[in-house]
Amino acid sequence: MTSIDRLDAEILGRLTANARVGIAELAADLGVSRNTIQQRIRRLEDVGILRGFRPIIDLGAVGMPVQALISLELDQRRMAEVVQGLGALPEVIEVKLQAGREDLLVHVAIASLEALQPLTASIVEIEGVRKTTSTFSVGTPVPYRLQPLLDHITEGSGWGRSTPLPS
């Protein structure tokens, strides 16, 4: 694991807000050289902290305005089959492994509330799925954000060189 400092946090926060921001703009905004920004980004990629740049897609704008979270209880011996089956469903955006009563949390995007029933039926047909429980997302009062967490992690640090944390 590698620690990050305030400069790393600022770079990551700005890239999270706008992955298309240029090196020169980042350097000017943060008051450091372009070379410093390039080296920091390369290091953040090399150590696995920065794992790519993705666009933010408005699912409603492409005809999938409803998002649901489906919790699944499984036959544990069939986990691999269930995951493979879920991966074959185009509406499945993400699957997270859970600790607790439910085993998986499946994030789906669908065109309408009515589309959940046939999708759930498809999920239940996957060998190993015992039970499903669905909830809907009706809004996003706190959108995806990282800057407060990055600020917390780097509280009290300066813009010095990041160092590996002791194992």
- Supply 27's token pair: 């350097």
Using one digit for the tens of pLDDT, what is the confidence trace for 111-165? 999 999 999 999 999 999 999 999 998 888 998 888 999 999 998 887 765 545 4
Using one digit for the tens of pLDDT, what is the confidence trace for 76-116? 999 999 999 999 999 999 999 999 999 999 999 999 999 99
Same domain, 28 and 79: no
E-strand ranges in the chain read 66-74, 92-97, 104-110, 129-137
Rg of the chain over all Cα atoms, to the nearest angstrom:
20
pLDDT value of residue 96: 98
Asked, for residue 50, whether it belongs to a domain, the answer is yes
| CATH code for position 112 | 3.30.70.920
Q: Distance between CA atoms of 114 and 128, rounded to whole angstroms?
A: 25
- Supply 14's token pair: 């700005």
Which structural domain range is residue 41 located in?
A: 6-55
Using one digit for the tens of pLDDT, what is the confidence trace for 16-62? 999 999 999 999 999 999 999 999 999 999 999 999 988 889 999 99
- Supply 76's token pair: 């544990």
